[in-house]
Amino acid sequence: MLVASTSNVLAFIDGPESVPSQVTSSKDGNYVVSYLPKKSGLYDIQVLVDGIPIPGSPFQVVFESASSVSPRFCTVKGSGLVGAIAGVSVTFFFETKDEFGNPLALSQDQWSVSVDGPQGKFIIILFKFAEC
């Protein structure tokens, strides 16, 4: 847990990762707490004034995955990537992740996969399954 403070105001942010934060006084009795979590999940934000939690503290905040897909963190796995028998259906799984490595529940509606085979290259279009 990392702590940000200014005079008598402290902010603790705890969750799936330690999040550096900064407390800035507006010099009018108000304070701004800035932080940037990179992992999705549930975070507790505790704010103390003179060592005493303010009403409602700690606050629970859920951070969702970022909305953009980062190819460097996407993964594929499954037997369809290892070998297959002609005429027999095979599968593999494609997981999209954001720029921080968080799985994306929703991403673009379709993807294309290029496959090279003995009869040349062909393209497979993958569609996102809708969950009901």
Taken in order of first residue, the domains within the chain and their CATH numbers are 2-63 (2.60.40.10), 71-127 (no CATH)
In terms of C-beta distances under 8 Å and separation of at least 24 residues, what long-range contacts does 74-82 make, across chains too?
none
Which single residue is written with the structure tokens 């859920």? 62
Q: What is the pLDDT of residues 5-36, one digit of tens each?
A: 456 888 888 899 888 888 888 888 888 888 88
* pLDDT tens digits, 72-110: 888 888 887 787 777 787 777 778 788 788 887 654 555
- Closest to 59 measured CA to CA, from 11, 120, 112: 11
